[in-house]
Structure 1
């Protein structure tokens, strides 16, 4: 079974470019896919078969395209994988997986900052003009 953790956004973009170069019918035929209804990727106003695009992106990432059998029967959450990489997916929602969205919390009241106190000038010995230690007595002049 193919794993898709190595597939990144640039790999998907390479698969989209190959799809555009070959055309949809030749692209699907080359990799042994048939159109997958209900799961589409939309990019720059063009609609693509999300399953085939992800399989070919796997090829760009690993050197081996995922087979149609590996992608079939919901074994791979195509929509979720492509959404994580920043693509717009129509359909293909995984309704069996629990929601991973964090619960919404009420907005906290804005904190007010206390005004910073200005720095106090360092006390200086009037005779030698050296900074006085915490005792207030100059170490040099005594």
Structure 2
């Protein structure tokens, strides 16, 4: 699966420029994307397919196009990634996270004791056998050499 941590704003702008040069149909066809109207990117008064732009931006960043399959099915939220880079992207509203379950009983919950590890005793510092001074991290006495 593709990761998008290497994608920067410049990579996204390069993908937009490539889209403008090739035209929408050719751009989508070359990289194997199908047109989508659900997730869009608006830039300089033009609208682009957000997933296709992000997939090609991944190519500019890493040399490999993030395929339509990698971006499909909610595996990657293209709109959120594009927004993080300062672009105006829109898409379907994600459902809110489920609410935590509420306790229905008023009885206090029994706590389970988790065993704690005993602290490990500190090692005594290394000492020079000649002058009995504490040795530095190098292990060589500064006084005796």
Task: State the alpha-carbon separation in 2 of the partners of residues 88 and 97 from structure 1.
Answer: 24
Instruction: Give the gaps of 5 or more residues in structure 1.
Output: 99-142
Q: Measured at CA, do residues 73 and 96 of structure 1 come closer, stay the same or move farther in structure 2, by a change above 3 Å?
A: farther
Q: Does 1:60 align with 2:60?
A: yes
Q: Measured at CA, do residues 3 and 41 of structure 1 come closer, stay the same or move farther in structure 2, by a change above 3 Å?
A: same
* 1:73-127, Cα deviation, whole Å (9 max, x unpaired): 01001110000000001224433569xxxxxxxxxxxxxxxxxxxxxxxxxxxxx
Q: How does 1:1-142 map to 2 (within 5 A)?
A: 1-96=1-96
Q: How many residues align?
A: 98
Q: Secondary structure at the match of 1:52?
A: helix
TM-score (norm 1): 0.66
Indicate the structure (1 or 2) with the bigger Cα radius of gyration: 1
4+ runs deviating over 6 angstroms = none
Task: State the alpha-carbon separation in 2 of the partners of residues 23 and 97 from structure 1.
Answer: 38
TM-score (norm 2): 0.64
Task: State the alpha-carbon separation in 1 of the partners of residues 83 and 95 from structure 2.
Answer: 15
Q: What do you get for the CA RMSD once the two structures are aligned?
A: 1.4
Instruction: Give the gaps of 5 or more residues in structure 2.
Output: 99-145
Match of 1:130 in 2: none
